[in-house]
Structure 1
Amino acid sequence: MIDKGYLLGERYRIIDTLGEGGMANVYLAEDIILQRKVAVKILRLDLQNEPQTQARFQREALATSELSHPNIVSVLDVGTDHSLPYMVMEYVDGPDLKEYIRKNSPLDLREVIRIMDQILSAVALAHKHNVIHRDLKPQNILMDKRGNIKIADFGIAVALNQSSITQTNSVMGSVHYMSPEQTRGGMVTKQSDIYSLGIILYELLTGTVPFNGDTPVSIALKHAQELIPSIRKKDKSVPQALENVVLRATAKDPRDRYPSAQAMKADLDSSLDPERSDEPVFVPTHGLNNDKTIVLPGFRPQEKQQEKPEVSKEDTQPEEPKSKKIFWQNVKDHKWWWIFSVITAGLIIFIMIFALSGRGDKPEQVNVPDVTNIAENRAKDKLEAAGLQIGQVIKRQSDDVKKGRVIATKPNAGNSIDQGKTVDLIVSSGSSMVKVADMVGKEYDEATKKLENLGFDVVREDQYSDKVPTNEIISQSIAAGVEVKPTQTTITLVVSKGKPVRPHNHTVTLRDLKNYSLKGAQDYAKEHGLTLQINQEYSDNVEKGMVISMEPGPGTKVDRGSTVTIKVSRGPKAKKETTITKTFTVNYVGDSFGKDEKTNNDKTDNSSSNEDSNSKGDHVQIYIKDDDHSLSNIYRDLYIKRDMSFSIPFSIRSGHGELRVVRNGQTILNEKVTK
């Protein structure tokens, strides 16, 4: 355990413990340079000498640092402190998804889709970079106070092209969310993550996991052998189309699952559409054993009969009942028997015509062909060849699908629909920067549709307003006119809930909050139903964290629900302090270093140590000199296996700083840093 107050890497002051794991402990810390809270994951002291654990820790840092997405916890820094590896990540102030489900279940269906869309968007990016998470579960999914999702803990993630994907490490993960192939120790693919996503979606919808047991082995066997329990039997309000998303994602055979997280997201987004209300239950096409003996209810094995003497065919012919013989004989003997025959024949013909005409009116059912990731014109030809008509063609931004190719169809591929029905195409317009439109004042549904068609993830936040009508946009998290990549951007729309219902005594005379602590001001605002807007600024006279001023001023009468703006002191600003950021790149030399060193040291015994060092990558040590650091101490100590860029902040009040970079024992950069 690291003591509170310890300054890690001469930059991150430990505040509190957030959690303890089998590989590492996580701490809340303050970045004293950028003055923000961060989460620091530190390898446990008792495991720092285990190569396998160190490799897993480095793999998590490498995997996560390559993934830049608003729904993935960002890695801000990686380093060592007295030979102890650590990783600095953004701090997410909120519960994990497991806790959120426990406290809020049952969830609204649109809330479930909003949460899953963020998770799927993040996993789609990871899969695009060929990174499989392998341990997706609600405990590894964090949620901030605004409802934004952040996926964490890539500790057992593995790149698809790594040779280390073996049967031994492929079964790592949480058994409640583990795919059948993982339980069997088989090869892990992107479809393994999709299975886990299906189980998470099941839990969001029902509040529980589908399989439980006394031991991990019994749970794993259920994943491998038993069908997912029906959601609609528990909750009829869940549409069949939405349950089908779970059934397809959790199919036992990976070939029956979604080909990508993006395809699962597209199907999920349309699962509440009215045109999918009559969708049949999803049935997998692979993994069915047609040779199995099916025992029907009530079936009993036939006992072996005792041998009987042979009986002639004449003897075995059942004798027609005597009454039946008399009836037909009377009919034939009657002089009008032929009229009876004609009427009977007419009735038979009428029934046959009616049956045939009814059969002809029923349209033939066809399966929607899979046209994802093929050109628009080819997709249209394929749909028309299946007897379907082309509906709307919706253009949407995509980082995963090339411009002009199909992202998904509505209804989704594999669904059975009437021949001649229309199918909408969602076609990629490519990945590019798009100017955010001004949605303020627009209806929420209209704004959401426009933004989602461009590829944005939209988060709704409700707020009372005296001026903006109900369900109209009050504000948006990204200003209009800013250029962003839609597929990597989440926009929060603040939506009006209309005027608040006010009690008879709905006015408040504001107290003077000057010299209140921030918490004291927040408590006062909460007690009197006020909204507090907080601005921070430096002050030489007011202590850090205390209120400098307020607007409206003390004594003003305001309505409950009104906004009060306060200025909070950040303390005195350091005089003449200058922060300079130096950016540089260290190239990875890899095997060439090993060969050169081995050649230059033939007469020594250092070749084996060079090979050991090279197996970890290039050894990089960074030294800096500024007002807070000395060249005699290592600032960063790490191994790299690719070209890596660094941005180092220097605090210089006077004079100059100095930067020195050593790679594999040789100084490759040594320069002064000036203001």
Structure 2
Amino acid sequence: MIDKGYLLGERYRIIDTLGEGGMANVYLAEDIILQRKVAVKILRLDLQNEPQTQARFKREALATSELSHPNIVSAFDVGTDHGLHYMVMEYVDGPDLKEYIRQNAPLDLHEVIRIMDQILSAVALAHKHNVIHRDLKPQNILMDKRGNIKIADFGIAVALNQSSVTQTNSVMGSVHYMSPEQTRGGLVTKQSDIYSLGIILYELITGTVPFNGDTPVSIALKHAQEPIPSIRKKDHSVPQALENVVLKATAKDPRDRYATAQAMQADLDSSLDPERADEPVFVPNHGNNNDKTIVLPGFKAPEKEQPTESDEETKPDKKEKKKDFWQNVKSHKWWWIFSIIATGLIIFIMIFALSGSNNKPHQVHIPDVTNITEKSAEKKLEAAGLQIGKVVKRQSDDIKKGHVIGTKPAAGNSMDQGKAIILIVSSGSSMVKVPNVVGDNYYEAAEKLENQGFDVVREDQYSNKVARDNIISQSIAAGVEVKPTQTTITLVVSRGKQVKPKINTVTLKDLHNYSLKSAQDYAKEHGLTLQINQEYSDEVEKGLVISMQPEAGTKVERGSTVTIKVSRGPKEEKDTTITKTFTVNYIGTDLNKDDKSDSKSGDASNKEDSSKGDHVQIYIKDDDHSLSNIYRDLYIKRDMSFSIPFSLKNGNGQLRVVRNRETVLNEKVTK
């Protein structure tokens, strides 16, 4: 345990304990530089010297830092303090999803879909980066006070191109949410995560997990052998289409599950549509691989009689019977025709078998060609027996221009020898203009954007003007210059025209303490017009509904206007803190190139070690700091962004940044 008040890494002051786990303890801390609360995960003292645990801890930090998504907990920093390994993460002030379900079950089905959409969007991004979580469960999903979802704990996540994915006899994750193939120690794929998502969706709808037992083994056996209990038998109000999403996601055979998290999200988003009301129950194509003997109707096997002694004596000799058979065949006038047909059939079967064995494709493993030149990758793939197909150019901040980002299919998979493989090559890191995809087909536009390096998130909504699966709008306007590898574009996609329900009246739900987004979703779902007014409130949290008119329980016609008051939070005095954000580029300059003459004379006292990176010194002037004192002094080995708060109650401030003894930024900061 770490004492309260301890300053970790000379930056993070420990405030309180948030939780204790088998691998690490989590603390609430304050970042004294950026003046914000953070969560700090510290590897337990008794595990500091275990290589396997350290590797898992580092893997979590790496996986989390690579996944930038609003529904994934952000990783800010990783380091060590007197031998203590720690990771600094975004602090989520709220319960985990398990606690939220326990306190609020049963949940409204629209709320279920809202929560699940956020989870699926985050998992889709992880899968796009070939990261499988492997331990998805409500306890690893956090919810802030506004209802926003954050997935955490990538401690046992593994990239698809890592060999450890194929290890067997290694059961990871939580058994209540574990796929059948995981319980058997088999290959863990993206479909394994989708199975866990199906169990989470089941729990969101029903408030309970589908399988329980006295031991983990008994629960695992149920996942592998027993069908998912029917949701509709417990609650007839749940549409069959929604239950079908659960059934498909939790199919025993991974081939029957959704191919992607995006496909599951698209199916889930339309599960409450009236046109899917009569949907039949989902039936998997591959079953459970538990084949049983089928007895045809009316068939009865003959009873076997025991031979008597007289029968044995009168039974003809086998050789004699065989001889009589062929004498009878040859004596028939058609025997030679039967012989020709039989001979021809045997020759045909032999030719077919031989040709089939010769034509059977040979499987080869796809080698890893990441971060090598395109030509080197082509030689390596051709040496493995593969052809080079389409070459896709993609922006990358991590891979040098002309070097390979990856392949499709990814390294580690197998494919037929001689088949063509797609090569993804870096076109370097640069700003590009966002293309205009409004009106285009979503699937074509998404592929186009992803090939440029963008992360694409899909949101569906009804439209009377835009055809189904075409794009209504994009979150970043066309023509804006951005870095694709650091940008997520949300595409609003048409679900087609909404079928008008037969019911023309709505009984208003109590929207008090709902978030504005939830109130808007409710109004859109029920065909209501929402008028929004904002006012300060000391009692209701900022962004939540204070009151509504007409009041809850009132019956109104569809199309009616509902007026809500949304809290702006308590009225505060004018903020005098200004935050200045800027980026210092890494140039990798030799800090001692100007001191070569000094080295000849033996004077090396003022030299700096260039292996540490670029030396950056930041000076600020505000109400609390003087420009003559160094505010931050550090070395960088990559481009680094800074956000510096200035307290300017009494006038203007100033910012000065020095890199490798040269001033690169010097400007005034005003209110």
**TM-score (normalised: structure 2):** 0.55
Determine the structure 2 residue equivalent to 1:98.
98
Task: Give, in whole Å, the separation in 2 of the partners of 1:53 and 1:30.
Answer: 26
Relative distance call for 1:10 and 1:647 in structure 2 (3 A) is: farther
Matched, 1:433 2:476: yes
Determine the structure 2 residue equivalent to 1:65.
65
Deviations 1:65-112 (CA, angstroms, capped at 9, x unpaired):
222211111222223323323222221111111011111111111111
Letter in 2 for 1:646: M
Per the TM alignment, residue 154 of structure 1 is displaced from its structure 2 partner at its CA by 1.1
Per the TM alignment, residue 210 of structure 1 is displaced from its structure 2 partner at its CA by 1.0
Percent of aligned positions with the same letter in both sequences?
68
Determine the structure 2 residue equivalent to 1:198.
198
Determine the structure 1 residue equivalent to 2:50.
50
Per the TM alignment, residue 21 of structure 1 is displaced from its structure 2 partner at its CA by 1.2
Could you tell me whether the CA contact under 8 Å between 2:618 and 2:632 is conserved in 1?
no
Relative distance call for 1:34 and 1:255 in structure 2 (3 A) is: same
Determine the structure 2 residue equivalent to 1:274.
274
Deviations 1:329-355 (CA, angstroms, capped at 9, x unpaired):
xxxxxxxxxxxxxxxxxxxxxxxxxxx
Letter in 2 for 1:426: D
Per the TM alignment, residue 47 of structure 1 is displaced from its structure 2 partner at its CA by 1.9
Could you tell me whether the CA contact under 8 Å between 1:470 and 1:497 is conserved in 2?
no
Matched, 1:217 2:217: yes
Determine the structure 1 residue equivalent to 2:41.
41
Task: Give, in whole Å, the separation in 1 of the partners of 2:445 and 2:633.
Answer: 37
Task: Give, in whole Å, the separation in 2 of the partners of 1:213 and 1:307.
Answer: 54
SS, match of residue 233 in structure 2? coil
Could you tell me whether the CA contact under 8 Å between 2:171 and 2:184 is conserved in 1?
yes
Task: Give, in whole Å, the separation in 2 of the partners of 1:140 and 1:274.
Answer: 34
Per the TM alignment, residue 270 of structure 1 is displaced from its structure 2 partner at its CA by 1.0
Letter in 2 for 1:44: R
| Within-5 A mapping of 1:412-451 | 425-427=468-470, 433-434=476-477
Matched, 1:158 2:215: no
Deviations 1:215-237 (CA, angstroms, capped at 9, x unpaired):
11221121112211111111111
Could you tell me whether the CA contact under 8 Å between 1:170 and 1:187 is conserved in 2?
no
Task: Give, in whole Å, the separation in 2 of the partners of 1:623 and 1:151.
Answer: 34
Could you tell me whether the CA contact under 8 Å between 2:57 and 2:155 is conserved in 1?
yes
Task: Give, in whole Å, the separation in 1 of the partners of 2:80 and 2:635.
Answer: 6
Task: Give, in whole Å, the separation in 2 of the partners of 1:149 and 1:476.
Answer: 26
Determine the structure 2 residue equivalent to 1:187.
187
Unmatched runs of 5 consecutive residues or more in structure 2: 309-438, 452-456, 461-466, 479-490, 497-514, 521-525, 535-542, 554-564, 589-610, 620-624, 648-652
SS, match of residue 469 in structure 2? strand
Relative distance call for 1:29 and 1:217 in structure 2 (3 A) is: same
Determine the structure 1 residue equivalent to 2:549.
498
SS, match of residue 176 in structure 1? helix
Matched, 1:142 2:166: no
CA RMSD in angstroms comes to: 4.9
Determine the structure 1 residue equivalent to 2:640.
646
Relative distance call for 1:167 and 1:26 in structure 2 (3 A) is: same
Relative distance call for 1:291 and 1:78 in structure 2 (3 A) is: closer
| Within-5 A mapping of 1:313-328 | none
| Within-5 A mapping of 1:5-16 | 5-16=5-16
Determine the structure 1 residue equivalent to 2:431.
none
Determine the structure 2 residue equivalent to 1:258.
258
Relative distance call for 1:652 and 1:98 in structure 2 (3 A) is: closer
Per the TM alignment, residue 397 of structure 1 is displaced from its structure 2 partner at its CA by 8.6
Unmatched runs of 5 consecutive residues or more in structure 1: 309-392, 411-423, 436-449, 464-468, 478-491, 503-529, 536-565, 589-617, 661-668
Q: Give the structure, 1 or 2, with the largest relative contact order (CA under 8 Å, sep 6 or more).
A: 1
Deviations 1:119-147 (CA, angstroms, capped at 9, x unpaired):
11111111111111111100011111111
Per the TM alignment, residue 461 of structure 1 is displaced from its structure 2 partner at its CA by 3.5
Relative distance call for 1:82 and 1:209 in structure 2 (3 A) is: same
SS, match of residue 26 in structure 2? strand
Matched, 1:22 2:22: yes
Determine the structure 2 residue equivalent to 1:226.
226
Matched, 1:472 2:529: yes
Per the TM alignment, residue 57 of structure 1 is displaced from its structure 2 partner at its CA by 1.6
Task: Give, in whole Å, the separation in 1 of the partners of 2:194 and 2:22.
Answer: 25
Deviations 1:307-361 (CA, angstroms, capped at 9, x unpaired):
99xxxxxxxxxxxxxxxxxxxxxxxxxxxxxxxxxxxxxxxxxxxxxxxxxxxxx
Determine the structure 2 residue equivalent to 1:510.
none
Per the TM alignment, residue 434 of structure 1 is displaced from its structure 2 partner at its CA by 4.3
Task: Give, in whole Å, the separation in 2 of the partners of 1:89 and 1:305.
Answer: 79
Per the TM alignment, residue 33 of structure 1 is displaced from its structure 2 partner at its CA by 2.6
Relative distance call for 1:429 and 1:108 in structure 2 (3 A) is: closer
Deviations 1:390-446 (CA, angstroms, capped at 9, x unpaired):
xxx9955998544799x99x9xxxxxxxxxxxxx852468976149xxxxxxxxxxx
Per the TM alignment, residue 496 of structure 1 is displaced from its structure 2 partner at its CA by 7.5
Determine the structure 2 residue equivalent to 1:416.
none
SS, match of residue 567 in structure 1? coil
Deviations 1:530-581 (CA, angstroms, capped at 9, x unpaired):
986446xxxxxxxxxxxxxxxxxxxxxxxxxxxxxx32598xx79xxx9876
* 8-17 or 275-284, larger mean C-alpha shift: 8-17
Determine the structure 2 residue equivalent to 1:562.
none
Task: Give, in whole Å, the separation in 1 of the partners of 2:39 and 2:628.
Answer: 26
Determine the structure 1 residue equivalent to 2:79.
79
Per the TM alignment, residue 493 of structure 1 is displaced from its structure 2 partner at its CA by 10
Could you tell me whether the CA contact under 8 Å between 2:27 and 2:39 is conserved in 1?
yes
Relative distance call for 1:632 and 1:475 in structure 2 (3 A) is: closer
The structure 2 residue matched to 1:567, chosen from 565, 568, 572, is 572
